Structure 1
Amino acid sequence: MTTPGGGGAADHGGFEEFYGGTRHRLVTYLYAMTGDRAEAQDAAQEAYVRAWQRWSAVSAYDDPEAWLRTVAYRLCVNHWRKARNRFRAHLRHGAGPDVAPPHPDTVALIAALKQLSVGERQAITLHHLMDLPVAEVAEQTGVPVNTVKTRLARGRRALAGLLDEEYHHA
């Protein structure tokens, strides 16, 4: 496990050994308790984050693994409680209105955007969909204004070809 925040073993002495020695047991325990491997892994991860944040205190406990197990299990219980409350609210209020499927043009646009480079897609999205001026796009993406302008021009050209191709195949 990479230590969160880039801290080393000197900052959290013994944590990596603790993690390595308890990880499998904790996930196995939570999986047996919840019946859901993904939920068990999520709860274990959150419990380890909390242990890491309080490692100087947790490492001094008589049984740090028991503390970890308790925290992880409580996270699962809270997840179940929230799910139960959502279910009860659903029963009380009924399902929300059906949401219409996305318009075919939206589906085509998203498919075309996925084919652009990340930089072009980000520039197009921020400028045209989020209505940000070029200077603000440059600031948010950390690139010069001229780079944003180039990405916009290239991205628009590529989108025009991709969407034209989609139109002719439909």
Structure 2
Amino acid sequence: MTQSPATPLPPPKERRRLRESQSLTQAQVAARVGVTRETVRAWETGRTTPRGRKREAYARLLGELTKPPVAQEALAEAEVTARRQDTDAAETPVRTDPPELSPGRPASEGSPLTPAQAFDALYAFCAPSLVRQAYLLTGRRELARESVERAFQLAWQRWPEVAVDRDPAGWVRASAYEYALSPWHRLRPRYRHPEPPPANPSDRALMDVLLTLPPPYRRTLLLYDGVGLDLPDTAAETEASTPAAANRLLHAREAVAARLPELAEPAELHRRLAEVAAAERLRAAKPPTVRTGSERRASFWTRAAIAFTVALIGTTALTLRTAPRQYEPPIAPGATIQGVPPKVAPGPLSEAEQELRAKLREETVSGPERLMPQPG
């Protein structure tokens, strides 16, 4: 069912302005509409458009935000609902959304954020959910935390590029997924043995089904049914065409429904994925720790590159020092000379040679007697 023309949605920027005018967070709006925080963020950036009943509920909420008295009541109700949801899901307390991350654009009416402040805001907004998503991808708690930290370390190293990206959260998410699904982890000793499964039998069954899916299918299912991306965005992030992403999603859903028939509905699957991820109580490192680790890692590789360059220069200088300074032509091959008998290898003596040898041995060592002059 599509939205009635009599109640159209305002533009994405106006949606965000209405929410911020009443000091509502994206989590509070998501609690009122019945969607995830990432979905509200996608609606406000224009990346996706609400449809059906979600669109009607979202349009009613935006209409209420234009009336100050009603907005205050909505704020109080949304705060209570959001905090109750966060407590039940064992998530972090509700916090205000991070400001824009583009350099030079003010976060509010005050001064613009510094790069470190913008990075910390992005990390605080994305890291907790990314750790849970990485856990659903890998089934390993430590690898999930490591994947998110490495992704944010890479983002800090390339912060001028990430800060102006259209979707910085998507940039970091793609990097975390790539690192988490890298096949080289199976060669590391610490990841050769599986980790303890979830304690809940239903959670353990869902994790077993997810880990049996091929990595591209698992990633597509998590992005579409877990994160809430649209199919074109899911295809772009998985570097596949839209029909290929649709086929992966359908096959993944069929595999999950074959093992767990109660999760055949996408809404129920989305709820169960959120519950399994939230039950683990995964924690990410603090933003300053990640930034410090990124700087140390960059410094280490910079020193390694400098040391390699110095060693290469030293080897080249030593080669130039010990190399011959003048040209020495090679020895020409031998040529045949007329009249000279060929050189023969040693062998048995002939009879004439044996007689000559015997005659020479009969002579004195110093040769024949010396002729002495006689007086006349």
Q: Structures share a fold, TM > 0.5?
A: no
Which structure features the higher share of helix residues?
1
- Look at both structures and tell me which one has the larger radius of gyration over its CA atoms: 2
TM-score bin, normalised by smaller chain: 0.3 to 0.5
Give the structure-2-normalised TM-score: 0.19
